[in-house]
Amino acid sequence: MQKVKLNNGVEMPILGYGTFLVEQKVAQRCVEDALNVGYRLIDTAQVYANEEGVGAALKNAMNGGTKREELFIETKVWINHIGESATLKAFDNSLKKLGLDYVDLYLIHQPFNDLYGAWRAMSRLYKEGRIKAIGVSNFYPDRLTDFCLNNEIKPSVNQIEGHPLLQQNEAQEVMKKYGVQMQFYSPFMQGKGDILKNKILANIGKKYNKSVAQVILRWLVQRGVAVAVKSVNKERMLENISVFDFELDANDMQAIAELNKNQSHFDKSHRDVEQVLLLHTRKPE
């Protein structure tokens, strides 16, 4: 598995398994399948309500001989727990559910509430070695810039939505400036917009005997973009991880670049007032 080196020297797999919308009752089986086909980065979050299932799978894997240092586990703190004392409590709760002594990456899930208080808590946990790297999620370039300018410890990662119709080129340039690794979620737009039926991507796939999904993931790898991809189907998991045996040429990369529309697959942006209010109504334990 190809890795990227974060700004604190920690190495992170460039391709990981995401568990958004993976229900608790199937999370253990899904993560076990993902680990069996070769994933080592597992992405979860407090608000996904599946950390216990993820933890059960990790426990079985380590009991079966997988070394903890081979795994890269990332989780996130939700809005209602973003604040110095609240984040410390939320982290302990997530760690307990995951059954781990530390997590490899801990993210602020949304750019709301007491961000600086949460960052102080996360910085403390990082210095104590209970988190190997700290970062953020869903931070637009302006918010990320301000955050980097006003914190001693810079985020190692910013996880944001990204796919061929939303390529996040400006965001990537800002992250490079501050040494922040870009990580995408929803690379297939959660199946919306018929992205997996796109003719240009399909024709590129035929050239390499690869699927559209594999073309998208390979395109991201070649851009140096980390990505967490989700499937509950083991065969699809294997398909998604099988992207390191071919390389897109310059013409392919340009053809995909021209698909960019700066178009989110969500109905509303994180800057929309109604969306902000909606996100605040979700209150995980």
The pLDDT tens digits of the residues spanning 51-64 come to: 999 999 999 999 99
Banded pLDDT at 191 (limits 50, 70, 90): confident
Handedness of CA 29, 34, 38, 43 (dihedral sign): negative
Q: Is position 283 within any domain?
A: no
43 contact partners, CB below 8 Å, separation of at least 6: 16, 17, 18, 19, 20, 74, 75, 159, 185, 228
User: Would you say the pTM of this structure is higher than 0.85?
Assistant: yes
pLDDT computed for residue 267 by the predictor: 65
Residue 9 carries which side chain, given as an amino acid letter?
A: G
Q: Is 48 a catalytic residue?
A: yes
Q: Is position 111 within any domain?
A: yes
Q: Is position 6 within any domain?
A: no
Q: Is position 97 within any domain?
A: yes
Alpha-carbon distance of 114 to 9, in angstroms, equals 28
| Domain of residue 262, residue span | 11-277
Q: Which of 39, 48, 126, 185 is catalytic?
A: 48
The CATH number assigned to the domain holding 252 equals: 3.20.20.100
Instruction: Give the number of domains in the chain.
Output: 1
Alpha-carbon distance of 109 to 100, in angstroms, equals 20
Least confident of 90-94, 137-141, 263-267: 263-267
Q: Is position 282 within any domain?
A: no
Q: Is position 131 within any domain?
A: yes
Q: Is position 3 within any domain?
A: no
pLDDT computed for residue 229 by the predictor: 97
Question: Hey, what are 271's tokens?
Answer: 């800057």
Are residues 35 and 60 in contact, defined by beta-carbon separation less than 8 angstroms? no
